[in-house]
Amino acid sequence: MKSFVRSYGMVIILVVMFALLYATVPTFRNPQNLLNLLQQNSVNAIIASGVTFVLITGGIDLSVGSTAALAGMAGAAVMVRHGILLGVLAGLAAATAAGLLNGLLISRAGIVPFVTTLGVQTLTRGILYIATNATPIYGLPFEYMRVGLGNIGPFPIATSLAVVIAVVMQVLLKHTPYGQYVLALGGNEDATRLSGIDVKRTKTVVYTVTALLAGVGGLILLGQTNTGQPQAAVGYELNAIAAVVVGGTPLSGGQGSVLNTIIGVLVLGLISNALNLMNVSPYWQPAVTGLIILLAVGLDTATKGHR
């Protein structure tokens, strides 16, 4: 029974929450609201897919929000002068560079992930404010908004991209040698190193890929606003970590699933959507997210204590 609850508990919670909202809140079941729910949570789903790998290794990445903003600002700066393609490539390159910096500082310099990613977060955000004088970048090609707000058939492009990324990351985690290295690293780093796995390279790749996905999320966010904003994606690292933890990945690492993370994203998205529909102040939402993280971590700790 315990194993069933651990495996399917969040799915049950998601289904029950959806059913209750569908039955009791008329505006919730509006098709446009449901599509908006998917679209609004696509960026978090993409970023959280990468953060899942980080937490599985026993690390943490507090820089994904500022990395998303970096990608958006770099993309916007290039896009207004040289077009969409070069802008997208510039954004992804900037994000990847930030992730590589994280990975090298953690794996080669031996700085703990919390300190490294907090430092990179602060550094990146500071550079964005200095470089832009804290002013947005306007004048992006209007057609780029399709990336953030357009549809493929009835489904948002952002959601379709999030689904593809989540599936690819799940396959990478569960069905490739690299994924097994990541799981082993989180389970026991010393044993993983003694088994011949290149721990330093594995860590570097994990943080680099996570930043790349944060960059993808930042570029989608850019398409949703059509304005490069240095303060974009503030707090997104908390949302991503919350989704991963709610999805069942322990902060201690060693296990996890991208698909479960997506369930966590949807649970948090439903809560946020319900609060909005009930006209609850948006200032309450960070408090609710923090409370959910505490409850999820506490539940995981209590479960471990009874094993």
What are the boundaries of each domain within the chain? 42-233
Q: Is the pLDDT of residue 44 over 90?
A: yes
Tokens of 280: 């609850």
Contact (Cβ atoms closer than 8 angstroms) between residue 96 and residue 208: yes
Q: What is the mean pLDDT of residues 32-61?
A: 96
Q: Closest Cα partner for 255 from 185, 304, 196?
A: 185
Q: Can you tell me the distance from the alpha carbon of 36 to that of 159, in angstroms, rounded to the nearest whole number?
A: 10
What pLDDT, in 10s, does the model give residues 167-222?
Answer: 999 999 999 999 999 999 999 999 999 999 999 999 999 999 999 999 999 999 99
Residues 295, 298, 304, 307, Cα dihedral to 10°? -70
Is the distance from CB of 68 to CB of 238 less than 8 angstroms? no
Q: Which residue has the tokens 């970023």?
A: 47
Give the residues across from 152 on adjacent strands.
155
What is the Cβ-side half-sphere exposure of residue 157, based on CA atoms within 13 angstroms?
Answer: 15
Bridge partners, residue 151, by sequence: 156
Alpha-carbon distance of 34 to 267, in angstroms, equals: 13
How many beta carbons lie within 10 A of that of residue 83, not counting itself? 12
Contact 84, 141 (CB under 8 A): yes
pLDDT tens-digit series, residues 240-266: 999 999 998 998 899 999 999 999 999
Q: Which of 140, 107, 101, 90 is nearest to 124 (CA)?
A: 101
* Pairing state between β 151-152 and 155-156: antiparallel
Q: pLDDT by residue (tens digit) across 151-160?
A: 998 899 999 9
Give the largest Cα separation in the chain, rounded: 59
pLDDT for position 306: 55
SS3 274: helix
Q: What is the arithmetic mean of pLDDT over 216-239?
A: 96
